[in-house]
Structure 1
Amino acid sequence: MRERQRDTIFMYKRASSKEYPNFFDKEQNLGRSPNGLLKDIGNPSWKRPLPHILVATLSSLLFGYHLGVVNETLESISLDLGFSGSTLAEGLVVSTCLGGAFLGSVFSGWIADGLGRRRAFQLCALPMIIGASLSASTSTLGGMLLGRLFVGTGMGLGPPVAALYVAEVSPAFIRGTYGSFTQIATCLGIIGALFIGIPAKDVPSWWRVCFWVSVIPASLLAILIEFSAESPHWLFKRGRIAETEEALEKLWGTSHVKSAVAELSKSDRGDELDTVKFSELFYGRHVRVVFIGSALFSLQQLSGINAVFYFSSTVFKNAGVPSDIGNMCVGIVNLSGSVIAMILMDKLGRKMLLLWSFFGMAIAMGLQGIAASTFLSSSWRVYLSIGGMLLSVTTFALGAGPIPGLLLSEIFPSRIRAKAMAVCMAVHWVINFFVGLFFLQLLELLGAQILYTIFAAFCLMAVVFVKKNVVETKGKTLQEIEIALLTSD
C-alpha cells in the first residue's frame, strides 16, 4: 500500500511537471492575482478556513494563559504548598515550565511530520490537560512541578505547529492576517490569566480554579481539531492526493482545488516521503534559511522584551499604580499592537513591519536607559520608564512578536518546514532561558542604564539583519516563496 502511494504521487508529479509550460503560458495570458492564483478564479473565500484557524489558535491561547497564570497566583500557591519565602522553589515553578517547553519544541517537528498537524495539536492538548489537572489538585511542590513540566511540554509543541498549520491552510492574500491570530490569541490568554487570577490574593485556594479553567480550552482543542481539515501540504507530501483535494475543497472551495494542487506540485520534488536527516538542517542548501530563522528568534529574545515584562510591575508600583492594573494595561497594549499588526500585515508586508518594530524597540530601550540615569528628577524618570515600557510592548507587538513565527513557516521549504521550525523554536527557548537566568545578575553588575543600552544595540543589530537577510513574502504562495529562495541560493 505504501509503495502504491509512492507510485501515485510520483506519477502525479511527473504529469504536473509536463504541464508546467502550458500552466505558465496560461498565467501569462491571464495574469496573477495577489495570492498567486489565476485571476479568472479570483481569491478563495476568507471565511472557509477561518473556523479551522480559530480552533488551531486555541493552542496559542493556552500558551499565553499558562505564561500568565502564575503571575498573580504564585504567592498564594507558595503559601498553600508550604514553600513561601523560598525564591528557589518559586523560580522552579516558573522555570520548570520553560524546560518542558524546550522539550516540546524539540520534538514538535518530528511529531507534526510523522503524525500530521491535527494529531500534533491533540498531543499538545493532552499534556496540558494532565498538567493543569495535576497542578490544580496537588498538595505538594513536587506535584506542582510535575504538572508544570507537563504543561510546558504542551506549550512547546503548540506554537510551532500552530504557525505551520495557519500558514499552510491560509490563502496567500490573507495569510499575514491569519498568521497574526496566534499572537492575538497569546495576548488574550495572558490577559485572561491575569483577569481570572485577580481574586487569588483574597480568596483561599482560588489559584486551583485558575488551573482548572485552562482544562476547558485544552479539551475543546483536542475535540474540535478532529473536525478540522488536515494541512493539504502535509497530505500531499504523504502522497494522499484524494485527501489533499478534499481538504482544499473544505478550506478554499471546489473552484480552487486544481490550481492549488498545481501550486503544491511546483515545489514538490518527489523526495518528501524520505526522512529528513537532522544534519540536513545545518549543512547544504537549507543552512541559510535555518540560520535566518534561528537568528530572528535569538534577536527577538535579546531585544529586551522579557526584561520589560519582568519589570512592568515594579515600574507601575513606582508610579503608584497597583501591579494587577499595571499588568492588565501592559496586556491590553500588547493586544492592541497585535490587532494593528493583523490589519497591516498583508498591506505593508512582513519585512517593513519587522524593520520598524525593531527600530521602535531600540528607541524605547533608549528611553528606558535615559530613565535609569540620575540627572533627571524622579517624576521624569517614572514618566520615561512607563513611556519606554509601553512603547517597547507596542512596537514588539507590531512586528517582532508575531512576524518571526509566521515568516519562518513561509520561508522554510515544505520538506524541512516542520523540523526547521522545531529547531528554531528550541533556539528561542534556550535564549529565553539564559536571558531570564542572567538578567538580574547583569542588572546588578552593569546597572539598568548600560543594560538597556545593550538591548537597544541588539534591536539595531536586528534592523540591519532584517534589512540584509529577510525576504518579503506578502501575497506569495508558499510554493512561489520556496522556488524563489531555492533559485536565489
Structure 2
Amino acid sequence: MWGRQRESYSMYKRMPSRDNTSVVDVEDNSAHLLESMDLETTNPSWRLSFPYVLVATLSSFLFGYHLGVVNEPLESISLDLGFSGNTLAEGLVVSTCLAGALVGCLFSGWIADEFGRRRAFQLCALPMIIGAAVSAITGNLMGMLLGRFLVGIGMGIGPPVASLYVTEVSPSYVRGTYGGFIQIATCLGLMAALFIGIPVKEISGWWRICFWVATIPAGILALAIVFCPESPHWLHKQGRSAEAEMEFERLLGGAHVKYSMAELSKLDRGDDTETVKLEELLHGRHFRVVFIGSTLFALQQLSGINAIFYFSSSVFKSAGVSSKLANVFIGIANLSGSVVAMTLMDKLGRKVLLQWSFFGMAASMALQVSASSSYMPESGALYLSVGGMLLFVLTFALGAGPVPGLLLPEIFPSRIRAKAMAVCMSVHWVINFFVGLLFLQLLEQLGSQLLYSMFATFCLMAVVFVKRNVVETKGKSLQEIEISLLPQE
C-alpha cells in the first residue's frame, strides 16, 4: 500500500509503467489518491504545533533581549568596572556580542544538521546562560567582554535554528503567521530589556540583575525544548522515517501523517545524508537560491535599519525627546508593524509584503533627506525627521524584518537548508557589523542627505530585486517550493 501511495505522489522520479495492473489495483490506487487529495485540502489543526513554535521563539526573545540589555545600563557598567569615558571600551561591550554572533552563526548550520534542531536550541541556550552569568558577576572589563562574546555565540546559533524549526514544524497554511512570531518575540525581548533596565540609574548594581534575568528564559528554553518534537524533515534526512511519522502525528494529527510522509518522499533521492560542502552552496544548481537569500539579507542591512536602531536616540534628542521615550516609540513602531505583518503573511503573501515594505522604507528615507535640507524650517525638519524614522521602523517591521528569516528556509532545499541559512545569516552579521562601525563616520564625512539617499537607493534596489527574483511561497508545501525552484539533474 505504501509503495502505491508513493507512486501516486511522486513528481520527481520517473516510475516504470505497469501495463499488467489489474482493475482492482487501479481502483485501490485511485481510492488512496482521492483520500490523499482530501487530506491535502483539509488543513491540520494549528493548535497542535502552536505550543512548540512558542518554545522555539524563546531563542528570538533572548536575541532581542541581549541586543538591548546594555543600552540603558552601559553608563553604570562603565562606572562600576572602571572604564568610564573610554569610548573604545564601551563600543567593545556592545560590538563583542556581534562578533560572537558571527562565530555562532557560522557553526549553526553544522550544529543543526549534525545534532538536530532540538539539541541545537540547547546548544544555543547554554552559552547564553554561561555568558549572562559571567557578565553579571564580573568585576572587570575582560570578564564583561568574555560574557558578551559567549552570549553572542548563542545569539548567532538561535535565529537560523528558530527559522528552520518553525518552518519545518508548521502547517503550510499558517507558516507565515508562525514566522511572524519570531519577529514579535525579538521586539518583546528588546522592550523587556528596556523595561528591566529602567531602575539602573536609581539602584546601585542593578545592571547585574539585568544580566541575571536573561538566564531565566534561556533555562526555560533548554528544558522546554526537550518536550517538543524533533523536526520530521531532519529525522527523514537521517533515515529515521518511523520517528518522523511519530513527530508528524504530534504536529499535524494522525490523519495527515501518510500524506506528509509522501510529500517528503517526493524529493528523497538517497543523497540527503551526504555532507554538504561550501562549494555546493556557492555555485552549481544551488547557487540561485543561496544568492537570493544572501542578497536579501545584504539589502536588509544596507537599507540602514540597524543604523536607525543604534543611533535613533540622537535624532530624538535633537527634537527634545528623552532617550527612554525615544526607545519606547521605536519599540512600539517595531512591535506594531510585526503584529500587522503576522496577520498578513498568509493572506497577502511574502513577496507583496517585501516589495511594499522596502518601498515604504525608501519613502521614509526620502522624508529624512527632506528634513536635512537647508530650505526646510527647523520645526518642520524635526517633525519630518522623527516621523520619517518611526515610519521607517514601522515599514521595516511589516516585511523586510520578518520575511527573509521565514522565506529563506522555505526556498532552500531540505538537504542544504541548515548550512545555506548559516551562510546567509553570516552575510547579515558581517554587514550589520560594518554598518554599525562606519555609520557615524560616514554621517560626518558625507552628510545626512547623501547618506540617507544611499540608504533609500538600496531600498529601491531591493524592491526591484524582490520583483525579479523572489517567488511566492504562501500556502505551498516545502516540497512544492523545492520542486519549483531547484533545476532537475
Residue 486 in structure 1 maps to residue 476 in structure 2 = no
Residue 394 in structure 1 maps to residue 394 in structure 2 = yes
Deviations 1:18-59 (A, max 9, x none): 7638899779868968xxx522xx101010001111000000
Paired with 1:362 and 1:264, the residues of 2 have a C-alpha distance of 40
Deviations 1:250-305 (A, max 9, x none): 11111110000011111221100111112111121000100100000000000011
Paired with 2:184 and 2:427, the residues of 1 have a C-alpha distance of 23
Paired with 1:25 and 1:302, the residues of 2 have a C-alpha distance of 53
Residue 38 in structure 1 maps to residue 40 in structure 2 = yes
Paired with 2:353 and 2:174, the residues of 1 have a C-alpha distance of 16
Q: SS state of the match for residue 320, structure 2?
A: coil
Paired with 1:19 and 1:426, the residues of 2 have a C-alpha distance of 36
Q: SS state of the match for residue 347, structure 1?
A: coil
Change (3 A) 1:180 1:292: same
Paired with 1:54 and 1:415, the residues of 2 have a C-alpha distance of 26
Q: Which residue pairs with 1:242 in the alignment?
A: 242
CA contact (8 A) 2:5 2:33 kept: no
Q: Which residue pairs with 2:426 in the alignment?
A: 426
Residues 195-204 or 20-29, more deviating: 20-29
Note the C-alpha offset of 1:319. 2.1
Q: Which residue pairs with 2:10 in the alignment?
A: 20
CA contact (8 A) 1:245 1:257 kept: yes
Superposition pairs of residues 330-345 of structure 1, within 5 angstroms: 330-345=330-345
Aligned length: 474
Q: SS state of the match for residue 10, structure 2?
A: helix
Residue 378 in structure 1 maps to residue 383 in structure 2 = no
Residues 22-31 or 417-426, more deviating: 22-31
CA contact (8 A) 1:371 1:385 kept: yes
CA contact (8 A) 1:17 1:266 kept: no
Q: Which residue pairs with 2:93 in the alignment?
A: 93
Q: SS state of the match for residue 346, structure 2?
A: helix
Q: SS state of the match for residue 46, structure 2?
A: coil
Q: SS state of the match for residue 347, structure 2?
A: helix
TM-score (norm: length of structure 1): 0.94
Q: Which residue pairs with 1:72 in the alignment?
A: 72
Supply the RMSD in Å over aligned alpha carbons. 2.0
Paired with 1:124 and 1:31, the residues of 2 have a C-alpha distance of 38
Instruction: Read off the aligned partner of 1:474 and give its amino acid letter.
Output: K
Q: SS state of the match for residue 472, structure 1?
A: coil
CA contact (8 A) 1:358 1:459 kept: yes
Superposition pairs of residues 20-419 of structure 1, within 5 angstroms: 20=10, 37-39=39-41, 42-419=42-419
Paired with 2:6 and 2:376, the residues of 1 have a C-alpha distance of 68
Q: Which residue pairs with 2:23 in the alignment?
A: none
Instruction: Read off the aligned partner of 2:274 and give its amino acid letter.
Output: D
Paired with 2:106 and 2:231, the residues of 1 have a C-alpha distance of 21
Note the C-alpha offset of 1:309. 1.4
Paired with 1:222 and 1:310, the residues of 2 have a C-alpha distance of 30
Change (3 A) 1:32 1:358: farther
Paired with 1:469 and 1:488, the residues of 2 have a C-alpha distance of 19
CA contact (8 A) 1:104 1:156 kept: yes
CA contact (8 A) 2:235 2:241 kept: yes
CA contact (8 A) 1:46 1:171 kept: yes
Instruction: Read off the aligned partner of 1:201 and give its amino acid letter.
Output: K
Paired with 1:99 and 1:124, the residues of 2 have a C-alpha distance of 15
Q: SS state of the match for residue 271, structure 1?
A: coil
Q: Which residue pairs with 1:449 in the alignment?
A: 449
CA contact (8 A) 1:13 1:270 kept: no
Note the C-alpha offset of 1:487. 4.3
Instruction: Read off the aligned partner of 2:409 and give its amino acid letter.
Output: S
Q: SS state of the match for residue 267, structure 1?
A: coil
Change (3 A) 1:315 1:245: same
Paired with 2:120 and 2:111, the residues of 1 have a C-alpha distance of 6
CA contact (8 A) 2:354 2:400 kept: yes
TM-score (norm: length of structure 2): 0.94
Change (3 A) 1:27 1:304: farther
Change (3 A) 1:256 1:379: same
Change (3 A) 1:24 1:332: farther
Paired with 1:251 and 1:302, the residues of 2 have a C-alpha distance of 38
Q: SS state of the match for residue 486, structure 2?
A: helix
Q: Percent identity?
A: 69
- Structure 2 gaps of 5+ residues are 12-25
CA contact (8 A) 1:96 1:148 kept: yes
Paired with 2:379 and 2:290, the residues of 1 have a C-alpha distance of 46
Paired with 1:460 and 1:414, the residues of 2 have a C-alpha distance of 31
Paired with 1:320 and 1:137, the residues of 2 have a C-alpha distance of 36
CA contact (8 A) 1:128 1:215 kept: yes
- Structure 1 gaps of 5+ residues are 1-11
CA contact (8 A) 1:73 1:200 kept: yes
Residues 276-285 or 408-417, more deviating: 276-285
CA contact (8 A) 1:13 1:268 kept: no
Note the C-alpha offset of 1:16. 2.7
Change (3 A) 1:27 1:352: farther
CA contact (8 A) 1:13 1:265 kept: no
Instruction: Read off the aligned partner of 1:237 and give its amino acid letter.
Output: K
Residues 434-443 or 391-400, more deviating: 434-443
CA contact (8 A) 1:367 1:388 kept: yes
Paired with 1:324 and 1:251, the residues of 2 have a C-alpha distance of 42
Paired with 2:306 and 2:132, the residues of 1 have a C-alpha distance of 24
Instruction: Read off the aligned partner of 2:85 and give its amino acid letter.
Output: G
Paired with 2:132 and 2:243, the residues of 1 have a C-alpha distance of 35
Note the C-alpha offset of 1:15. 8.0
Note the C-alpha offset of 1:199. 1.0
Paired with 1:377 and 1:32, the residues of 2 have a C-alpha distance of 64
Instruction: Read off the aligned partner of 2:6 and give its amino acid letter.
Output: S
Change (3 A) 1:188 1:363: same
Change (3 A) 1:25 1:394: farther
Instruction: Read off the aligned partner of 1:88 and give its amino acid letter.
Output: L
Change (3 A) 1:197 1:19: closer
Paired with 1:286 and 1:376, the residues of 2 have a C-alpha distance of 50
